[in-house]
Every structure is written in C-alpha cells, then in structure tokens.
Structure 1
Amino acid sequence: MTEGFRQAQAATERWRIDLSYDGTDFSGWASQPGLRTVQGTLEHWITQVLRLPEPVQVVCAGRTDAGVHARGQVVHVDLPAEAPVDSLERRLRRVLPPDVVVRGVSAAPPGFDARFAAVWRRYVYRLNDGTAAPDPLLRGHITRVRGPLDLDAMNAAGTMLIGLKDFAAFCRRREGASTIRTLLELHAERDDRGDVAYTVKADAFCHSMVRSLMGAMTTIGMGKRDADWLAEVMTSPVRNSTINVMPAHGLCLEEVGYPPDADLAARVVAARATRGSEEL
C-alpha cells in the first residue's frame, strides 16, 4: 500500500443515508447509461450540492429492480473529510426530485457497510384480490389479482420455506452466486383497507427471489396449486418455469436491519465470504 493511497483513505469519512423512493419512473436502483435510476440520481446530486471534484459512488443495502419501491433503503457513501456534510440532508431535500426523499444523513459507525453489514431485509408485497374496492390512488403500489386469496392456505404453505434453504427454484441464476438464503418471515395479512400485505424477510435475497416467492404464494392462495406442489418446486436446482414472477410495482423494501455497532465489521467479513459480488 503506497503512502498516497493511505492518505486518500484517511481523507474520507463514511456516511449513512436513509432513503425512500417511488420506483415507478426509475429503471431500478443501479446506474445504467442513458437511464434514470435511483443510484444515478442520488450520486449526481450529492456530487453537485457538495461541489466535489470527482463523482461519488453510493452503496445500497438492496438493489431494487425497475418499478420496485423503497420506504427504508439504506446506503453508504465515502466523502472527503472536509466536505460540508452537516448540510447535506437539507441540500438534498431541496434538489432531489419528488419521488426520492432523504430521511436522514448520519456518520456511519466503524465497520459499517450498507450492503454487507445488513443482517436482514424486510419487503412487503401488496395485492388487491377484489374483496375490497381498489383504491385508484394506490394503483402504482398494489397488484390486482383475480381472487379472492386464501390467506390461511398461503401462510400454511409458506411455513415450509422458513429457515436456511436453497432457493434456486425462485432465483435467476448468476454465475458463481449462491442461492442459499435464510428466510426469516413469510406471512400474509389484510390491512385496514382489506388489501393483502405479504411480508417477506430474509438475511438477503437473490435476483427476482421475492417476486417469484409471491408468484408461488399467490398461485396457492387462488387454489391453483397446493403445498405438495411447493415442496416439489423446492427440489429444483434451477429456476422453476411454472412460477410466475409478480409485477414489480407491488413490491416495497420496507426496512433493513443491522447488528450492534461492535459486530458490524465481523458481519461484513462473513457476508463477503459467503456472497461475494452477487445481488442481495
């Protein structure tokens, strides 16, 4: 390691940004040339409002697909120590488009990594199955299905997926990436409007896993498949073509959980060893 590199490292500080966004008009989280993305928008405006000589790069807890929303996204960014970060939250709120809102900017504790330090992510998928009149104002956030859905059947079948398992049948395979995940919660309930809110919580998710899980659960809830079919699906070593991937707009990243500050560095090391550069 050169002395110049050490100085460059010492001259930056890591910050945590809590973020919410409506994914309707974004081509997903990750920056893509010529497309409007959440990452690209955030990086552009951080660089602009702090008048930085070089573009910044932000790292998120969960890379959402095009059309997926987030209420509790977490990112980190390394900024020059002399940058006026104390005013960053206020400045970003002034310039960011209305479909992106910064909820908070805070100094990251030692060892913090928005992606690899996370111990769980909680998503909620929202459906309207016709038991209540759909709210037209929520049409971009709730998926309509031809119901009614049997929530008891969905919840009973979902119990067999809880725990450390190989979810290859629900994931788009990526070269060298593991499909083994620990599913912590899979539960459907009706909200005050009568719509279905389906919570999916795990240590991490592989690509398309949540929407594929929802496709399987919705099929069971409609009575087209049963728990025996789900058990058979789980034996597949590759993505199962009988599973429907649900539309993106019904999905929202609600919350990300982290360990105590003293355990952050160890968590990062463990997560990098098991998941490398794959999607979370």
Structure 2
Amino acid sequence: MPRYRLTLEYDGSRFAGWQRQRDMPSVQQTFETAVQAICGGALSVETVVAGRTDAGVHARGQVVHFDLDRDFTPDKLRDGLNFYLREDRIAVLDAAIVDGEFSARLSATARHYLYRILNRRPPPAMEAGQVWHVPVPLDSAAMHAAAQRLLGHHDFNSFRSTECQAKSSLRTLDDLRVMRAGDEIHVTTRSRSFLHNQVRIMVGTLKLVGEGRWTADDVSAALEKADRRAAGPTAPPEGLCLMQVDY
C-alpha cells in the first residue's frame, strides 16, 4: 500500500481550521472528500498533517500524508485532487510517493510561519482576510529587538492558549524576526514545534512593544512568569500562514 506525501496551500478564512469538525467545514474534511472522490467514493482515508492550523489560519506549505490501497502517479494524484478541490480554495502543489516510515507530523524537523500586519491607516481591500490591520504606527525595529528575548529553549507557558493540550510547555524557538516591508510588518519564526496559539500570542505581545506600551524587558518578564496572564493578547488568525515544513 503506497504512502503519499502532498504539499498543500489553502485559504483558511472559509474553514474552521484543519481538523475535522462536527458542524463546520474543515480543511481536513474537504481534502479527504476529494481523495475519496478520486478513488471512486468507496474509500475511507486517514490523513496525517504537519500542522493542525486553527480557524482562519492559512497555509502555503502544509504537508500531509496518507496511504491508499491503489497506485497513482504523483502527477495524476496532484491533478486529480486539484480538479475536485477547484472551488474550495485548496490546492495541491506537489505529490510524491514516500517510504512507509515517513510521517508528515513526526518526521518534521522545523515549521516556518509568517505573520503579516498591515500597518497603515486605511483598511485592507485586496488583502482583507490575509492580514491583521493595525492602523496605529508600529516600531518594527523595537519589535525585532524584543523578539530576540524569546529565542532559545524556554518554558513558553505564557505564550500558549489556556486550552493547549501539550503535556509540556518547553519549546526551542530557533528564529523570530520582525521586519517592515512597505505598509506591512512581517513576523517570521521557525521551530520544530509550536504550542497552541504560540505564534499569535508572540505577535500580540510584540505589537505592544511596537506601540511603545511595552519594552523588551517586559517581554522577558512575561516569559519568566510562565503564566498566560503575563503575556499580551492573541493576535487574530487571519494574518498567520504556515509557509514551510522541513524534513
């Protein structure tokens, strides 16, 4: 039974996240329905994904694997799935046959995220649903300097959702950068794994620094307290995108 690895991109604004939901559309359900369709409908498929993105979060480099009891060439599988997904704002970028030991989740060595802040007075038109609109000026250099306080191996309990189910809040943050690109501020980050809402809480906290309400020392203090109440707000989901997964 061959195992297939696929790279997906999707617009998360129309979905209640990756994971299958009882009463709301999910990326997983929509994608698995397309797999069933290309196989003739009488098939139960179980997908494993690199990152279970939340409602409203996008992906440009999501990785998923699954096993099928029939053979497809990678190109035929990619093109067939894209035919069934053409109305769903989900696209299969590439497909490959991989070893049966490969896991989209467990084999990953790093996950890369980008958070986009539109930092101008006028609201977004073309980028609505893809950015967090912050109309007040933000100091991206101060945000970047404060972000460096979060690098390394720490207890990130202050920077995870109270609903996070991870057994440990210890994580190693390999990279966190803030840079301005015209009217946008881009926050990029890389780690082997993130806690639930970790990236969005880091961004919400760094926004306080950009506004001049917090300093880098305040960010360090929030990290040291290991208490969700010590960090800043959770940034909205629409600015976040899973860009790449390394193996």
Q: Give the aligned residue type for 1:168.
A: N
What is the CA distance between 1:34 and its match in structure 2? 2.2
Which residue does 1:41 correspond to in 2? 30
**Aligned equivalents of 2:166, 2:132: Cα separation in 1:** 33
Which residue does 1:261 correspond to in 2? none
Which of residues 16, 19, 23 is equivalent to 2:12? 23
**Aligned equivalents of 2:158, 2:84: Cα separation in 1:** 42
Distance 1:176-1:147 versus aligned 2 partners, 3 A rule: closer
Which of residues 113, 135, 159 is equivalent to 1:123? 113
Which range moved further: 64-73 or 171-180? 171-180
Distance 1:39-1:233 versus aligned 2 partners, 3 A rule: same
Which of residues 157, 168, 184 is equivalent to 1:178? 168
**Aligned equivalents of 2:166, 2:142: Cα separation in 1:** 35
Q: Secondary structure at the match of 1:235?
A: helix
Which residue does 1:56 correspond to in 2? 45
**Aligned equivalents of 2:33, 2:19: Cα separation in 1:** 13
Q: Structure 1 residue 94 and structure 2 residue 83: aligned?
A: yes
Normalising by the residue count of structure 1, what TM-score does the alignment of the two structures yield? Answer: 0.82
Distance 1:25-1:175 versus aligned 2 partners, 3 A rule: closer
Which residue does 1:84 correspond to in 2? 72
2:17–2:54: 8 Å Cα contact kept in structure 1? yes
What is the CA distance between 1:54 and its match in structure 2? 3.1
String of CA shifts for 1:212-260, please: whole Å, max 9, x gaps. Answer: 00001111111011112111111223322552001100111111111xx
**Aligned equivalents of 1:237, 1:226: Cα separation in 2:** 18
What count of residue pairs does the alignment treat as equivalent? 244
Which of residues 72, 86, 97 is equivalent to 1:107? 97
1:50–1:83: 8 Å Cα contact kept in structure 2? no
1:170–1:240: 8 Å Cα contact kept in structure 2? no
Which of residues 65, 80, 85 is equivalent to 2:54? 65
Distance 1:56-1:110 versus aligned 2 partners, 3 A rule: closer
Q: Give the aligned residue type for 1:146.
A: P
Which residue does 1:200 correspond to in 2? 189
What is the CA distance between 1:33 and its match in structure 2? 1.2
Distance 1:54-1:98 versus aligned 2 partners, 3 A rule: closer
Q: Secondary structure at the match of 1:76?
A: strand
Provide the identity percentage. 35
Which range moved further: 172-181 or 65-74? 172-181
**Aligned equivalents of 2:107, 2:26: Cα separation in 1:** 24
1:44–1:55: 8 Å Cα contact kept in structure 2? no
**Aligned equivalents of 1:176, 1:76: Cα separation in 2:** 22
